């Protein structure tokens, strides 16, 4: 006589912060973007059903650590600090920080940020770079009168830029370009020369899931699909 197998959890839960186009953003109630397209492929390859949840960027790694999320995918830069907490996949996109400002502002590089009010998204690599430059004696903006304003929501920072409440926003290249293309009167310039690589994060030691994620990512990279996803979600 056959006994029924216990019902297996067939869902794959991704946590993200959907305020970062083209990687993740709301289209009505729905979260879409490059990372969602990638995650759908991962789920498909694993025969699982994808569930995508939106939270603050700085809560994504904690959610992975608490087993609320199977993985975090949020245009997240692989950094040494984060690698102490989670494991990352192979990198799937290269990026660099950009500075967005109004067209008429004379902000062309880090130098131009002296004495300015700078908006960043809390806990991002842009936040860390700018906060260090403003608050640490060895920072380029130290003692220049520059101020950092942190936002939970990166898109709110760009609204404040348009409203003149901050002079600049520091954010990753492609989201910067989306914000500039979606609003009149803004420009974006490269900030610094530190290139960043995006990875998907899982709980440390979750090798089985990490292997599946890596093989799907490698396939998508080989097929040129990630470039296609970026193209599809860019303005």
The pair of structure tokens assigned to 113 is: 């940020």
Stretch that binds ligand ARG, among 12-20, 41-49, 131-139, 224-232 (CB under 6 A): 12-20
Burial 219-232 (b: 16+ CB within 10 A, else e): ebeeeebbeebbee
Tell me the closest approach of the beta carbon of residue 33 to ligand ARG, in angstroms. 9
Residue (of 175, 79, 174) closest to 123 by Cα position: 79
Stretch that binds ligand ARG, among 15-23, 112-120, 130-138, 207-215 (CB under 6 A): 15-23
- Under a CB-based contact definition with an 8 Å cutoff, are residues 134 and 59 in contact? no
The edge-to-edge listing of strands for the beta sheet with 201-203 is: 49-54, 11-16, 71-72, 201-203, 86-88
Residue (of 92, 94, 95) closest to 172 by Cα position: 95
Q: Report the residue from 12, 13, 15, 19 that binds ligand ARG according to the rule CB under 6 A.
A: 19
Nearest CB to ligand ARG, comparing residues 33 and 42: 33
Site string for ligand ARG, 102-131 (x = CB under 6 A): -------------------x--xx------
Nearest CB to ligand ARG, comparing residues 125 and 212: 125
Q: Which of residues 139-168 bind ligand ARG (CB under 6 A)?
A: 154
Q: Which of residues 55-94 bind ligand ARG (CB under 6 A)?
A: 57, 74-77
Residue 216 touches ligand ARG, criterion: CB under 6 A: no
Residue 12 touches ligand ARG, criterion: CB under 6 A: no
* Integer angstrom CA distances of residue 30 from 27, 76, 135: 5, 20, 38
Residue 101 touches ligand ARG, criterion: CB under 6 A: no
Residue 178 touches ligand ARG, criterion: CB under 6 A: no
Beta strand extents in 42-155 (DSSP E only): 49-54, 71-72, 86-88, 93-102, 117-121, 147-151
Residue 188 touches ligand ARG, criterion: CB under 6 A: no
Interface with ligand ARG (CB under 6 A):
16-17, 19-20, 23-24, 57, 74-77, 121, 124-125, 154, 172, 196
């Amino acid at each position: 006589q056959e006994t029924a197998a216990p019902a297996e959890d067939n869902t794959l839960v991704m946590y993200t912060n959907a305020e970062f186009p083209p990687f993740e953003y709301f289209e009505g109630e729905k979260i879409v973007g490059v990372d969602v397209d990638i995650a759908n492929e991962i789920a498909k390859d694993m025969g699982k059903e994808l569930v995508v949840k939106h939270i603050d960027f700085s809560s994504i790694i904690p959610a992975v650590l608490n087993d609320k999320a199977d993985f975090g995918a949020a245009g997240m830069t692989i950094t040494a600090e984060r690698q102490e907490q989670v494991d990352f996949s192979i990198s799937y996109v290269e990026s660099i920080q950009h500075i967005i400002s109004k067209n008429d502002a004379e902000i062309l590089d880090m130098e131009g940020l002296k004495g300015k009010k700078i908006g960043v998204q809390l806990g991002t690599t842009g936040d860390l770079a700018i906060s260090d430059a403003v608050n640490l004696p060895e920072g380029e903006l130290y003692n220049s009168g520059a101020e950092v304003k942190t936002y939970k929501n990166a898109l709110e920072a760009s609204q404040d830029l348009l409203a003149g409440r901050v002079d600049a926003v520091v954010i990753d290249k492609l989201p910067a370009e989306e914000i500039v293309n979606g609003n009149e009167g803004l420009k974006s310039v490269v900030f610094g020369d530190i290139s960043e690589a995006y990875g998907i994060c899982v709980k440390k030691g979750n090798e089985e899931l990490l292997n599946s994620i890596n093989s799907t990512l490698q396939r998508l990279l080989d097929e040129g699909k990630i470039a296609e996803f970026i193209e599809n979600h860019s303005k």
